[in-house]
Amino acid sequence: ILAASGALWWTGQTVAENFQIIEQQKATMARAQALGMEFYSDGKDEYLLLPKGKKASSGWNFKDLGREAVKLEK
């Protein structure tokens, strides 16, 4: 009974964490779409389409996050 309770607790925690990640991803996708961004795949490669009138400025880096960034400019 203890092992089963532990397994159920662990499963519940994992499901809750995964649900939170999915909700964050949904919010990010909604924000990208609200900015006019779209995702495109040609079957071989994947692309992020920028909103009309915007251009990408590369070379940005958020070192504290350990990630590179692309700035959207007019």
Quote the strand ranges of 10-73, DSSP E. 38-41, 46-49, 55-62, 67-73
The string of pLDDT tens digits covering residues 23-68 is 999 999 999 999 899 999 999 999 999 999 999 998 899 988 888 9
Residue ranges covered by each domain of the chain: 1-34, 37-74
Any residues with CB less than 8 A from the CB of 63 and at least 6 apart, and which? none
Q: Which residue has the tokens 């779209």?
A: 38
Q: Is the pTM of this model over 0.95?
A: no
CB 48 within 8 A of CB 33: no
